[in-house]
Amino acid sequence: MKSNKPIVIIAGPTASGKSSFAIELAKLLNGTIINFDSMQVYSDLSILTARPNENDLSLVPHKLYGFISGSVRCTSIFWRNQAVKEIKKVFSIDRVPILVGGTGLYIKTLIDGITDIPASLTKYTNKAENLYKEIGNKNFHNLVKKIDPIIAEKIEINDYQRLIRAYTVWIQTKKTLSEWQKNDSMSKKIYNNFLKIKLVPERKYLRENIKNRFIEMIDAGVIDEVKSISKYDMSLPIMKAHGLREILEYIEGKKQLNTVVEEATNQINQYAKRQDTWFRNKYNSQYDIVDVQKDISDNCSNILSLYHDMYK
């Protein structure tokens, strides 16, 4: 039976304080936290991806963290299907689902629904992957641009997974991804009642937090963690974790550690900017938090009032 309770979503850029805030809110709402970060789904790289630690996990229930191996690919559709299962379980025990993360594409599939695009068949995916390896990311992006300029406009040149998906859909179905997305079946929604919270920290705070957190990761053993998966195929999504390539170059003796810190934090800052832009433009939040460390009790109190207003 479908619940009319709102699903709470806490979104925002990396290192903005989403996880710690979600724990405080979950305590008050009798909530279960469900992850929508595309890197934190993997069991590998718990330090580099800043997964909640053992202490955090003991405070409130957490779901969809570290639940699949980094040696496989997690797609937005796969995540969405797992999230729906977890949401149903949470509602069935009279708790509140609180989705937390920064991967816009993941949460979009839950809020907006999904198309009826057939699942990619292995033979077509393999064909796309082999071509990508043969011609490289720039030429492959140009190829997708010729086939489906609307979709190519939305995909960054290094976004391996989405490029492969766009090309695979075309060679498998003879229709472009943008043609599929025009279909009215896009409104295949399961839930409609969302309380959307957005963290919008000041850039200076975020930059400092990103740098401090990366240094803490080094102290916590992230270099050994990266070494442990260095033999993985570089095309796997887990190998796109921010800071991983720089750390690999340090392991290979190509870079000094201070250079790794500088380059990795610059790259993470750029990513945080893109996340911030995405959530400002494509995520219509009902409650924004600028300083998550300040007045936590006030923010929680305001959100609780908003939640209960929606659940009447």
**Which domain CATH number covers 157?**
1.10.20.140
Residue 64, domain member (yes or no)? yes
Residue 127, domain member (yes or no)? yes
Name the one residue in this structure whose structure tokens are 């299907």: 81
155 and 281 both lie in a single domain: no
Q: pLDDT grade, residue 173 (50/70/90)?
A: very high
Name the one residue in this structure whose structure tokens are 């009790």: 297
100 and 247 both lie in a single domain: yes
User: What type of residue is 9?
Assistant: I
Over range 32-59, report the average pLDDT: 97
Q: pLDDT grade, residue 1 (50/70/90)?
A: very low
Confirm if 44 and 228 have CB atoms less than 8 A apart.
yes
Cβ neighbours, 10 Å, residue 140: 21
Confirm if 292 and 199 have CB atoms less than 8 A apart.
yes
State the pLDDT at residue 241: 96
pLDDT tens per residue, range 239-274 = 999 999 999 999 999 999 999 999 999 999 999 999
Beta strands in 124-245 (DSSP E): 194-199
66 and 94 both lie in a single domain: yes
Cα 7 to Cα 300: distance, rounded to the nearest angstrom: 15
155 and 231 both lie in a single domain: no
Residue 207: burial class (beta carbons within 10 Å; 0-12, 13-18, 19+): middle
Q: What are phi and psi of 42, to 5 degrees?
A: -85, 145
38 and 49 both lie in a single domain: yes
Confirm if 116 and 50 have CB atoms less than 8 A apart.
no
For residue 39, give the CATH number of its domain.
3.40.50.300
- Say how many domains are in the chain: 2
Cα 252 to Cα 69: distance, rounded to the nearest angstrom: 24
Residue 145: burial class (beta carbons within 10 Å; 0-12, 13-18, 19+): middle
End-to-end CA distance of the chain: give it in Å, rounded: 18
Residue 296: burial class (beta carbons within 10 Å; 0-12, 13-18, 19+): middle
84 and 142 both lie in a single domain: no
State the pLDDT at residue 186: 46
Cα 69 to Cα 10: distance, rounded to the nearest angstrom: 25
Cα 215 to Cα 97: distance, rounded to the nearest angstrom: 32
Last residue of a domain, one of 170, 186, 202: 186
Residue 302, domain member (yes or no)? yes
161 and 298 both lie in a single domain: no
Residue ranges making up the domain that contains 70: 7-114+188-310
Q: What are phi and psi of 180, to 5 degrees?
A: -60, -40
Residue 22, domain member (yes or no)? yes
192 and 103 both lie in a single domain: yes
pLDDT above 60: residue 184: no
pLDDT tens per residue, range 78-107 = 999 999 999 999 999 999 999 999 999 999
State the pLDDT at residue 312: 66
300 and 282 both lie in a single domain: yes
State the pLDDT at residue 118: 74
Over range 1-26, report the average pLDDT: 90
Residue 2, domain member (yes or no)? no
29 and 127 both lie in a single domain: no
| Confidence (pTM) | 0.84
180 and 216 both lie in a single domain: no
- CA 207, 199, 82 angle in degrees (round to 5)? 110
201 and 172 both lie in a single domain: no
pLDDT above 90: residue 215: yes
Last residue of a domain, one of 134, 151, 186: 186
pLDDT tens per residue, range 14-44 = 999 999 999 999 999 999 999 999 999 999 9
Residue 1, domain member (yes or no)? no
Residue 81, domain member (yes or no)? yes
Edge-to-edge strand list for the sheet holding 287-289: 62-63, 31-35, 96-101, 7-11, 194-199, 287-289
Last residue of a domain, one of 186, 210, 242: 186
